[in-house]
Chains A and B, each alone.
Chain A
Amino acid sequence: MNSDIFVVIEHLRGQVSDISYVMLAAARGMANATGGKVIAVILGHDVETLARDLAADRVLYMEHAAFADFSSDAYQRALEGVIKEHAPRAVLFGDTTMGGDVAAWLSTHLALPLVSACRTFRADAGALKFVSQICGGKMMAEGDLPAPTTLVLMVPGGYKPEQGRAAQAPELARVNAPALDDLRVTVKDYVEPAVGDVDVSKEAVVVSIGRGIQNQDNVELAEELAKALGGVVAGSRPVIDQGWLAPTRLVGKSGKAVKPKLYLALGISGAPEHVEAIGDSEMIVAINTDPAAPIFDIAKFGSQVDMLDLMPVLTEKVQQAKGL
């Protein structure tokens, strides 16, 4: 049985994603428990640059023009052979817009078990266990990582990316890419993220609204509060998907990461996709009527009052305090 841990390195337009380093950090702990090695797998080109700071024992790489952009079809076909040939103890993918398109397909195709939303691993008397974060961050699920090979989709939060970085580049080993003609999924173009009037990632005070805002008319209450505090309004995904705020104001996995002095989260539950982008805030204050909302786990101060009641009163008191 192969006790190595494979990590499929995620990169986009020449940049290795943070989740790749998180996975390498996790893989090191697992490999210590299994007695195996940490093997990074890169599909791409200019592999030397991509691999230079990966904390892996070895890099297996494939080069092919089809990897210039991300195509699920190309990734699936390329990884199928590698996983079959090596049958490592685990293969880690980012639970992201890339890994998500690939791992579940491979699980079915190769008849290998799959664990998603995995945050941490634990070794228990030699046996590996996964801990996954589900139900919008409200539940953790723990179980055995099935042997001999399991595919895993990993979310951030359990390990620090710095732990997956190394000062020295790992040894590289080339693997031949399979035939990748007639791809059924191809990238035609990119649309850059919109640049707006404000960059929420640079603001010192962010008043962020979630589904608790209930309707577009109430957004004004948040605008007024933000204005009084000298900050800007941002929002969670449902608020942006409803069209109540511009896409430039989205905070989270598919939007911006923020690091303000104050992040005031109003009516935001604290789903993992949101929380991963606000952890660098100096202070998070959360207002949510649900005492079990996961946002309270990372907030410094919280309250269960109704945000719609609070916003006008707080605006007024802030204005008073500033002598306005």
Chain B
Amino acid sequence: MNLVVPIKLVPDLVEELVIDASGARLDPDALRLKLNEFDDHAIEQAILLKEKGAGQVTVVAPDIEGVDDALFTAAAKGADRLIKLTGNWNNGVNNHALARVFANFVETLRPELILTGVQAHNDLDGAVGPQLAEHLGMPYVGYVSGVVVFDNKAQVRKEFPGGLIAEMDVVLPAVLGIQAAEKPPRYVPISKVRATMKTAKLETFPAAELETAGAPTTVRLFQPETGARATMLAGDADAVATRLVEIFREQGIL
């Protein structure tokens, strides 16, 4: 079973987000990038599938800063092949372009199952998964939180609002958008990732031409303007706790 996991890096939201001089995008110099958390779940789900039966897991990513770490971590968890697609990623890239690049390359791997994060917090032109599926002529199911594979089909658990789950059959080859792996992504100690760096090989392939059509152009980025922001309580934990008890009293909660 040939499992392929296309991943992308996204801005780490723990850092302050700075809008650049153009006003239309985040300042790349002020960003710290990290693996899209849903892609992390996709990697985990692929490795869980591999562990349940025969299979090879290939992780594919655009070659941008920080991607080596993400790929070596995937290898330390059990991924077999690590692939970087080299191209002119400097100006950022939308999901339409990314899906085309992934489709172009992933096709050569002849995957039976493609697992990718169901979305990323910076998606502005839809998710990568369904676009990739269309390019490859495969069916797509997103918001998946569990996968079992049979001969030529996958049985997936798809989430609906409110916690309802549909058990669905999907004919393979297929693309699945992973919302959550069956188990939380495993933790690998840094020492193991370092050891993997010495043995695992990063393969590079040129990405196809970046073709960004299909995505809107952002004219302006801004912080959400809010009505009334919270009244902030100052002081240490003790002072805040004292004030909160007063507030709870006033509100009739205590």
Chain A interfacial positions (CB closer than 8 Å to B): 12, 17, 69-73, 96-98, 100-105, 107-109, 111-117, 129-130, 132-146, 150, 153, 184-194, 204-205, 229, 237, 241-243, 247, 250, 253-256, 261-262, 269, 271, 282-283, 285-287, 290, 292, 294, 296-306, 309-310, 313-314, 316-318, 321-322
Residues of B155-174 whose CB lies within 8 A of A: 155, 157-171, 174
A to B CB contacts below 8 Å, 19 in the list: A70-B166, A72-B141, A97-B142, A100-B119, A103-B130, A107-B131, A108-B131, A137-B224, A139-B17, A141-B221, A142-B222, A190-B166, A229-B254, A243-B184, A283-B253, A297-B226, A297-B229, A298-B226, A300-B230
CB neighbours (8 Å) of B247 from chain A are: 285, 301
Q: Is B121 an interface residue (CB 8 A)?
A: yes
**Bound Cα distance from A107 to B231, whole angstroms:** 43
**Bound Cα distance from A190 to B166, whole angstroms:** 4
Interface size on B, residues (CB 8 A): 86
**Bound Cα distance from A143 to B241, whole angstroms:** 44
Contact between chains at A190 and B167 (CB < 8 Å): yes
Report if A247-B163 is in contact (Cβ < 8 Å); known contacts: A150-B216, A318-B248. Answer: yes
**Bound Cα distance from A191 to B145, whole angstroms:** 13
Contact between chains at B160 and A191 (CB < 8 Å): no
Most chain A CB neighbours (cut-off 10 Å) among B41, B213, B220: B220
Q: Is B223 an interface residue (CB 8 A)?
A: yes
Residues of B190-228 whose CB lies within 8 A of A: 213-224, 226
**Bound Cα distance from A153 to B122, whole angstroms:** 14
Contact between chains at B168 and A73 (CB < 8 Å): no
Report if A107-B96 is in contact (Cβ < 8 Å); known contacts: A242-B184, A285-B247. Answer: yes
CB neighbours (8 Å) of A150 from chain B are: 216
Q: Is B126 an interface residue (CB 8 A)?
A: yes
Report if A305-B125 is in contact (Cβ < 8 Å); known contacts: A139-B221, A193-B163. Answer: no
Contact between chains at B230 and A286 (CB < 8 Å): yes
**Bound Cα distance from A143 to B11, whole angstroms:** 21
